[in-house]
Amino acid sequence: MKKSIFLIIYLLFAYISSAQEIAPIPLGGSLDLYVGTWKYENTETGEVFIVKLKKFDNYTAINVNFGTVLIGEYSYKKNGITIYDNIDSVSGIATNNQAVRTSVKCSSANQNFAKLRLSVIDREYQKIANGTLQFSLEHNNSYSLKWKIAESEGDFDVGPDYKEGLSIPSDIVLIKVEE
């Protein structure tokens, strides 16, 4: 009888463990764990993509108060060459009306803080990309962000310098490297 009970408990534990490969966010409805510096690195392609996020309360733009959002900046290197780097400006961002603006902003969707909407300005190609940012707790208790974006819809006049696609990674996982 005792063996059976232990077996059931073991199987139940094993099932729960396997079902929680992606752990629920332990935030209690907070964006705080997104704040910090996140990094993606691919040694084969020589890509290093770093995003720095900070929380911003009462974010107001286009006559709308978006509430609390995350804003940030990024740097991107490829094969050792810096494509874009404005990461140090994040700390200076005061309001959205300033000339220096964020390039990454997230806000909650359906109060599900595990997956946020993501809008990115591709500084190099001067395009908007939209997608999602999904928080995960890895097995080693580290935090990761699933970054997935696509070029937004639009009707454009383009010049000869127009470039197809995006200059930044569109489907990557970033690891938190700094609070």
Q: Which residues bind other proteins (CB under 8 A)?
A: 61-64, 66, 96-97, 99, 101, 105, 107, 109-111, 117, 119, 121, 126, 128, 130, 150-160, 162
Min. distance of Cβ 76 from other proteins in angstroms? 16
Q: What is the DSSP letter of 152?
A: P
Min. distance of Cβ 108 from other proteins in angstroms? 9
| Residue 51 burial (CB count, 10 A) | 27
Min. distance of Cβ 15 from other proteins in angstroms? 30
- What is the Cα–Cα distance from 41 to 18, expressed in whole angstroms? 28
46 contacts: CB under 8 Å, gap ≥ 6: 77, 78, 79, 80
Distance in Å from the first CA to the final CA of the chain: 50
The rounded Cα 38 to chain-centroid distance in angstroms is 8
Considering the complex, state which of residue 44 and residue 157 has its C-beta at the smaller distance from other proteins.
Answer: 157
Considering the complex, state which of residue 20 and residue 126 has its C-beta at the smaller distance from other proteins.
Answer: 126
Give the chain's largest Cα–Cα span. 78
Considering the complex, state which of residue 7 and residue 100 has its C-beta at the smaller distance from other proteins.
Answer: 100
Min. distance of Cβ 123 from other proteins in angstroms? 9
Considering the complex, state which of residue 48 and residue 106 has its C-beta at the smaller distance from other proteins.
Answer: 106
